[in-house]
Amino acid sequence: MNAIITASDLATALVGDAPPVLLDVRWQLTLATANGEPPFDGRAEYAAGHIPGAVYVDLDRELASAPGPRGRHPLPDLADFGRAMRRAGVSAARPVVVYDGGQGWAAARAWWLLRWSGHPDVRVLDGGLPAWQGPLETAVPAPVEGDFKPVPSPTGLLDADGAAALARSGVLLDARAGERYRGEVEPIDPVGGHIPGAVSAPTNENVGPDGRFLPAGELAARFKELGAVEGTDVGVYCGSGVSAAHEALALAVAGIPAALYVGSWSEWSSDPNRPVAVGPDPR
């Protein structure tokens, strides 16, 4: 099953016999600024207009637990996550489509969590809301409660030690911007640089100017150049486990399974005893 869906295919599915559950996960990383701009508010964006029937999901509160030693977006408590998904109408036997404001990171986080915790049919709207050509609504739906119960996979999730080991034995991709990987800038976390052995693979290079994923063949060719091919153990990380989910989604489109280090650099860099590499070379 393809991990993404086009806007036209979504429009067709929504009027079909088995329409998917729609989740709106608009979110974006915001940093403190001195110019007085208000922080991004995904719920307000949702209230201003969303795809008909979509239910809003809060990434910070429902797709992650509170920031702490495990990173800025650690895994949510699975019982809480299950309750949030059931409130949104998610059931095991009904397909789910997730979208965000176009960047794709937040939608990918929801996709990854649902897939990792056992949902068999989840896709991301390619290009997000900007790709949608249909109507929007402001009414808040009241979905019938779903029956989804998370059952996490024994594979697909990395901790810090697992990420370090994979950087030695397989391919560990760093989805952050190149300057953060190289340690030239670090606007968020305690120290700049990367996990020794990790390969720079900025996630924005997986999409075109319209925010949609490159064709599967082009993605496969890109990942092959980075050493990530089918049959090789592949893992991904980023700053806090959000943009890395988008990298994992791109890998899935290319036909390459990958594990996710959810704690990512925000967890790794919080421990001064963990090694840090800087510069363009993996080690």
Query: Do 108 and 57 share a domain, yes or no?
Result: yes
Strand order from edge to edge, sheet including 21-24: 4-5, 122-125, 96-99, 21-24, 55-56
Which residue range is the domain that position 88 belongs to? Answer: 4-131
Question: Is it the case that residue 38 has pLDDT exceeding 90?
Answer: no
Count structural domains, the chain: 2
- For the record, the structure tokens of 264 come out as 């990512």
Q: What is the pLDDT of residues 109-151, one digit of tens each?
A: 999 999 999 999 999 999 999 999 999 999 999 999 999 999 9
pLDDT of residue 245: 98
Say which CATH number the domain at 258 has.
3.40.250.10
Q: What is the pLDDT of residues 159-201, one digit of tens each?
A: 999 999 999 999 999 999 999 999 999 999 999 999 999 999 9
Question: Is it the case that residue 96 has pLDDT exceeding 80?
Answer: yes
- For the record, the structure tokens of 241 come out as 């486990």
CA atoms of 88 and 233, how far apart (whole Å): 34
Do 73 and 241 form a contact (C-beta atoms < 8 A)?
yes
CA atoms of 19 and 132, how far apart (whole Å): 16
Query: Do 78 and 163 share a domain, yes or no?
Result: no
CA atoms of 26 and 185, how far apart (whole Å): 26
**Per the domain annotation, does 150 fall within a domain?**
no
CA atoms of 245 and 257, how far apart (whole Å): 12
Query: Partners of 96 in the beta sheet?
Result: 21, 122
**Per the domain annotation, does 231 fall within a domain?**
yes
Local confidence band at 230 (pLDDT 50, 70, 90 cut-offs): confident
Which sequence positions are flagged as catalytic?
Answer: 238
131, 149, 171: which is the final residue of a domain?
Answer: 131
**Per the domain annotation, does 47 fall within a domain?**
yes
**Per the domain annotation, does 10 fall within a domain?**
yes
Query: Do 94 and 198 share a domain, yes or no?
Result: no
pLDDT of residue 40: 82
115, 131, 147: which is the final residue of a domain?
Answer: 131
User: Over the Cα atoms of the chain, what is R_g?
Assistant: 18
Q: The tokens 């810090």 sit on which residue?
A: 160
